[in-house]
Amino acid sequence: MKKLHFQVDSRLATLLSQEYSSTEKALKELVDNAWDADAEQVSITLPAPLSNDPISVIDDGTGMTAQELSAHYLKIASDRRSKRGLRTTGKQRLIKGRKGIGKFAGLMAASVMKLTTYARSSEVSFTLSLKALEEQADIEHLPIDAEVVPCSPELHGTSITLSNLHQELAYPDANKLRQILLQEYGRQKDFSITVNGKPLAIDDLSGTYREDSTTLPEAGDVTLRFAISDAKTGLRQPGITLMVDGKAVGKPSFFGLDECDDFPPKLLRKMFGEIDADGLSEHVTAGWDAVVENSELFHQVSEHVQAKLRDAFVETHGMEMRLAHARLQKTIHERLAGMPEFKREYADRSIKRILEKYYDEAPSKVEPIVFVILEALERSDYRILLEHVAEAKRRDISAVVDSLSEFGLADMAFLVEQANARSAYLDQLEILAATANTLEATMHRAIENSLWILGPEYSLFSSNKTLQRQVEDYLGDRYVGELASKRPDLLLSEDLNGAYLLIEFKRPSHALKYVDYQQATSYRHDFAKHVSKPIKVLIIGGKRSEDFPVTNLEPNVSAMLFVDVFSTARRQIQWQLRSDPA
């Protein structure tokens, strides 16, 4: 029998280098390698456009010996985590490199890559070129002539020089590179990056940068530095980091601005910064993970931060909010004018809050919400009828009965209007679920304030800020680094009796499996440690796999499919419409 063997074409290196969508992202891969090498400083030098100067990336990491280069670096597609663990040896950082192909990232931008590395009194260098790769049929047989010479024991780190840059590609842009690196490494205090001599800082974020220093009556001197991104999408790690005595306290937060109903949630994800408040040094917990909850000094700092952030957002996005209001104002003006004064004021306030919250949504998405409010206020006359009942004399039984009868008719009419509105909402929700790329988070946002669609037993559950924060803290601690992509979408709600409901959303295209059941129940067990009452679990997905359990379930655990949810909701709506008083 003849034995056959795979051969790895040298063109593989070129293909792997083309995995990156831009030269800036390819250079970030080299910075990731420095992070994995426990470097504290990385210096990147970019050439002027159309020049013949090279790109250089220099770090002060652990470096590599010739043996380590051969055993690890030159192995293609080798996952270092499987052999050396999830964290680095020295600083215990979570490993970034996972595919074993980052070594070819430099060839995305250049034809020649020279690597020089220093470790344990040894300097090793070699050059890799695309031309040599193209001339060699099998990459495993490509000769790599490494030069090994002694060096000072104090030297450590790696230097990569990229020359003969590809002229058909745009040269790497320093500002774009800073944007990419800032979101990944902008909050790391033991990892300094300079690009063309400028250290990475908050003011590198594309958008509006602010710096404000002041002295608060009790908290003392505080300095707030932040930027508001002008990108369409949100930042990966938004928020303001609290710095006390040069150390970060807990995770980035929004200092209560995320709990304000009148502030657009999407704007929060455009915020990036930090505040120095050394006056809080006596109010930080022993683990340095939070500030003491009842700290009046921290409350003073929070109010200061909120005010400054609000002022900045009004200046940068206020015009957009006002224009959004103006676009609809003309359309709804006549309907508002026809309402009683008390309704008009309420409607105007409600519509303004909606427009501020969804300031950057398309008008076609916002208009239905606004018009549902107008319909409800135009059709329901509860207040007038209740005033009539209150004014009737006790002996005028007939008048009271007539008023109560009118109230019942008005109540039924309102229910019919509500049913029509819910039917329109359900139409849109079904379209959303039928879209192949709809995510868990999308369905979560669409359903979290409309749990009536799950059935009458769920209609009294509503969001609770404390529970929401508990879920966010739990997920933020558990799903970080590379686990972030596996972060579940959970909703923890509470009803009038204090009972809890934990919903785990899956994509409408996802088939529920046994592992989903296990995960959902494990989340309940984790949350049960912090609450006093039982937690009901509901898992919602698109289909049910054969291995999803149907018997011997833990108490109060159930699963729903989106198709069943919609069917149940339709029956509720049809029942309401049959009650039409007309």
Put residue 102 in one of left, alpha, beta given phi > 0 → left and psi -120 to 50 → alpha. Answer: alpha
What does the pLDDT read at residue 449?
82
Give 544-558 pLDDT, tens digit per residue: 998 898 887 888 898
Here the tokens at position 73 are 């670096």
Put residue 392 in one of left, alpha, beta given phi > 0 → left and psi -120 to 50 → alpha. Answer: beta
Ranges of H-type helices in 110-151: 130-135
What does the pLDDT read at residue 582?
44
Euclidean distance between CA atoms 68 and 146, whole angstroms? 13
What is the arithmetic mean of pLDDT over 293-308? 89
What does the pLDDT read at residue 408?
56
Euclidean distance between CA atoms 272 and 253, whole angstroms? 10
- Going by C-alpha positions, the residue among 57, 55, 7, 89 that lies closest to residue 193 is 57
- Going by C-alpha positions, the residue among 299, 260, 259 that lies closest to residue 279 is 299
Q: What are phi and psi of 105, to 5 degrees?
A: -60, -40
> What proportions of the chain, in percent to the nearest 5, are helix, strand and coil?
45, 20, 35
Max mean pLDDT among 316-325, 360-369, 488-497 falls in 488-497
Rounded to two decimals, the pTM is: 0.53
- The single-letter DSSP state of residue 480 is -
Matching residue, tokens 């690597």: 115
Euclidean distance between CA atoms 367 and 349, whole angstroms? 15
Euclidean distance between CA atoms 116 and 121, whole angstroms? 13
Burial of 530 by CB count in 10 Å (0-12 exposed, 13-18 middle, 19+ buried)?
Answer: exposed
Of the candidate ranges 103-107, 314-318, 322-326, 330-334, the one whose mean pLDDT is the lowest = 322-326
Say how many Å lie between the first and final Cα of the chain, rounded. 86
- Cβ atoms of 500 and 533 within 8 Å: the answer is yes
Here the tokens at position 194 are 């300079």
Euclidean distance between CA atoms 178 and 188, whole angstroms? 14
Give 199-244 pLDDT, tens digit per residue: 988 888 888 888 999 999 888 999 999 988 888 777 888 889 999 8
Model confidence at 4, pLDDT cuts 50, 70, 90, reads very low
**Comparing 309 with 19, which gets the higher pLDDT?**
309
What is the arithmetic mean of pLDDT over 40-57? 89
Euclidean distance between CA atoms 206 and 291, whole angstroms? 31
Model confidence at 20, pLDDT cuts 50, 70, 90, reads low
What distance lies between CA 178 and its chain's CA centroid?
Answer: 20
Give 382-420 pLDDT, tens digit per residue: 454 445 545 554 445 555 555 555 555 556 666 666 777
Euclidean distance between CA atoms 279 and 301, whole angstroms? 10
Of the candidate ranges 65-79, 109-123, 157-171, 505-519, the one whose mean pLDDT is the lowest = 65-79
Strand, helix or coil for residue 133: helix
| Domains of the chain, CATH where assigned | 11-195 (3.30.565.10), 203-295 (no CATH), 319-434 (no CATH), 440-564 (3.40.1350)
Position 566 pLDDT exceeds 70: yes
Euclidean distance between CA atoms 250 and 165, whole angstroms? 43
The mean pLDDT value of the chain amounts to: 79
What does the pLDDT read at residue 341?
67
